[in-house]
Amino acid sequence: PTNARHEQREFIRVNSDKVQYTNEAITTDYKYLNTHVEKVHHDDGTTEYVATPIERQYQFKTERKVPRTGLMMVGWGGNNGTTITATILANKHNITWHNKDGVQVPNYYGSLVRASTIRLGTDPATGKDVWVPFSNVLPMVHPNDLVLGGWDISGLPMDQAMARSKVLDYDLQRQVAPYMAEMKPLASVYYPDFIAQNQEERADNTLPGQSKAAHVDQIRADIREFKRQNNLDQVIVVWTANTERYSEIIAGVNDTADNLLKAVEQNHDEVSPSTIFAIACILENAPYVNGAPQNTFVPGCIELAEKHKAFIGGDDLKTGQTKVKSVLAEFLVNAGIKPLSIASYNHLGNNDGYNLSSQRQFKSKEISKASVVDDCCAANHLLYRPAVPGKKTADGKADKGEHPDHCIVIKYQPAVGDQKVAMDDYTSELCMGGRNRLYVTNLCEDSLLASPLLLDLTILAELMTRITYKAGADDKEWNSMYSVLSLLSYSLKAPVVKPGTDVVNSLNRQRAACTNFLRACLGLAPESDLLLETRVW
């Protein structure tokens, strides 16, 4: 069965003097290779790119003991929260169920970690590739072992919340309901200005009082109590609650860590519930991932995470339409075909769609969905004119260079429920003025696409807390990885990255970064697909 624990039956051992195994840790010496490029503009108008290979020595250490881990979801009673809870319970208790296609067996399809494999190497005897489960590469927490909890502004017990979501087959709901009846979301932070007004009718489980400082304290206490009650070593918190409006970035309010903490003390209006959760998690050193599009991680919040060496990741789960877009746009541009227009239409009838029918919340989603092709177009100056620094467009804005027209429409259609429909039209320019039109329709249960991503984010965030590094032979300390976990980008629509560095939206590059990092922790060279053995005599 697909939910069998393959990691207990298959092991990877790296046979190299660069890797040391102890009971506690796997330690590797790793040579990082990159290329530094300097652009030299000559007087005759030519540009020379001077490429210098660089080498840097790192050591990576991965603690082998997987801690007892809790996953606390903000918005636990929503479609994603209830769906992933039922999925884990069904897997854990081996619950099978009937639908019109026959008997269904639980699995974790759609999870990068649990349902995909990576190429470990080549079998010299046969010359064939050897593939291993992603989750076997390093010790990772198994979703069945996660202790689940969380908050919701709706106090409905989880069995009823699952029924409200209308995602899973009735025969499955019937069997997991007894496990979920005792699960009740904790009261949450509710500032009505941040989510659609139409959500007010379900907000019956909110923290009392107006004091934002008291709310931070309460969330911190909730995390500590959850840890204590369940005897946990680690808690990961994921925001899978409603999409909020953007917070305004205001100097003196949320621009620095100190100002943000001051703004909390002063109850400033622009501190959103998702940022309150982020602050609480940072102060509790619980990794926090934002699965919705709003700008939870205002600059002050990123600085606060840096100061506390806490882990954060975001923004917005990358599921159907955007995932396909980050593949298709990259394919077109890398094939030398020029997308001129990308028009994306969505309609959905779940509570997420209801919330997004409000303009300010839609805006957050639109921004998150819009940026996904930017980097791949900017990477090809043969197709797209680059931005000219200092140049202004006709309407006075900074020149962003040439890029495809890109529109995003989302409509709420209650009758389609969780069966979200996404339709895209890609119009591209071909050789000699030709036109190519690609139409993509994506139809599925929105929450079944999204829920496994919550697991990937949780499992990888937890793993990142057990990996430390030394940079060079002189580095005496084992350092934790940088606070913003951009290695989670594969599952995120608008990845938050280290300030000042480029965002990578390409799905393939994001996956390669992640798997190559895991390989580095085993002292293995990155996958280059060079496969020289197959190209030389």
Catalytic residue among 152, 159, 315, 316: 316
Among the listed residues 482, 503, 480, the one whose alpha carbon sits nearest the alpha carbon of residue 492: 503
- Identify whether 193 is a catalytic site residue: no
Catalytic residue among 365, 369, 456, 470: 365
Asked whether the beta carbons of 361 and 243 are under 8 A apart, the reply is yes
| Interface with ligand NAD, residue 288, by CB under 6 A | no
| Interface with ligand NAD, residue 189, by CB under 6 A | yes
Whether the ω angle into residue 315 lies within 30 degrees of 0, i.e. cis, is yes
| Interface with ligand NAD, residue 78, by CB under 6 A | yes
Rounded distance, CA 112 to CA 511, Å? 9
| Interface with ligand NAD, residue 80, by CB under 6 A | yes
Beta strands in 64-192 (DSSP E): 69-74, 97-99, 102-104, 117-123, 128-133, 147-151
Question: Of the ranges 44-52, 99-107, 185-193, 335-343, which one interacts with ligand NAD (CB under 6 A)?
Answer: 185-193
Catalytic residue among 420, 424, 446, 470: 420
| Residue at shortest CB range from ligand NAD | 78
Which of 222, 315, 352, 456 contacts ligand NAD by CB under 6 A?
352
Lookup: tokens for 456: 């990937």
What residues between 141 and 180 interact with ligand NAD by CB under 6 A?
A: 151-154
| Interface with ligand NAD, residue 325, by CB under 6 A | no
Rounded distance, CA 326 to CA 333, Å? 11
3-state secondary structure (DSSP) of residue 341: strand
Rounded distance, CA 68 to CA 45, Å? 61
Query: CB of 379: closest distance to ligand NAD in angstroms?
Result: 25
Rounded distance, CA 473 to CA 479, Å? 13
Query: CB of 235: closest distance to ligand NAD in angstroms?
Result: 16
Query: CB of 367: closest distance to ligand NAD in angstroms?
Result: 12
H or E element at residue 301: helix 299-308
3-state secondary structure (DSSP) of residue 510: helix
| Cβ-based nearer residue to ligand NAD, 27 or 243 | 243
| Cβ-based nearer residue to ligand NAD, 151 or 517 | 151
Query: CB of 153: closest distance to ligand NAD in angstroms?
Result: 4
What residues between 218 and 277 interact with ligand NAD by CB under 6 A?
A: 240-243, 273
Contacts 24+ apart (CB under 8 A), 442-445: 442/320, 442/321, 442/324, 443/419, 444/320, 444/419, 444/420, 445/167, 445/418, 445/419, 445/420
**DSSP conformation class of 439:** E
| Interface with ligand NAD, residue 77, by CB under 6 A | yes
Q: How far is CA 188 from the centre of its chain?
A: 23
3-state secondary structure (DSSP) of residue 452: helix
Which of 290, 351, 483, 510 contacts ligand NAD by CB under 6 A?
351
| Interface with ligand NAD, residue 85, by CB under 6 A | no
| Interface with ligand NAD, residue 79, by CB under 6 A | yes
What sign does the dihedral 486-487-488-494 (CA atoms) show? Answer: positive
Which of 111, 254, 319, 505 contacts ligand NAD by CB under 6 A?
319
- Identify whether 420 is a catalytic site residue: yes
Asked whether the beta carbons of 407 and 343 are under 8 A apart, the reply is yes
Question: Of the ranges 5-13, 223-231, 326-334, 347-355, which one interacts with ligand NAD (CB under 6 A)?
Answer: 347-355
| Interface with ligand NAD, residue 317, by CB under 6 A | yes
Query: CB of 201: closest distance to ligand NAD in angstroms?
Result: 10
Site size for ligand NAD, by CB under 6 A?
34
What sign does the dihedral 253-154-141-86 (CA atoms) show? Answer: negative
**DSSP conformation class of 294:** S
| Cβ-based nearer residue to ligand NAD, 448 or 467 | 448
- Identify whether 316 is a catalytic site residue: yes
Pairing state between β 97-99 and 69-74: unpaired
| Interface with ligand NAD, residue 373, by CB under 6 A | no
- Identify whether 338 is a catalytic site residue: no
Annotate each residue in 441-460 with x if it binds ligand NAD (CB under 6 A) or - if it does not, as one string. Answer: -----xx-xx----------
Rounded distance, CA 252 to CA 302, Å? 15
Q: 264-283: b or e for each residue (b if 16 or more CB lie within 10 Å)? A: beeebebbbbbbbbbbbbbb
Rounded distance, CA 505 to CA 493, Å? 8
Q: Which residues bind ligand NAD (CB under 6 A)?
A: 74-75, 77-81, 151-154, 188-190, 195, 202, 240-243, 273, 291-292, 316-317, 319, 350-352, 355, 446-447, 449-450
Catalytic sites, residue numbers: 316, 365, 420, 493
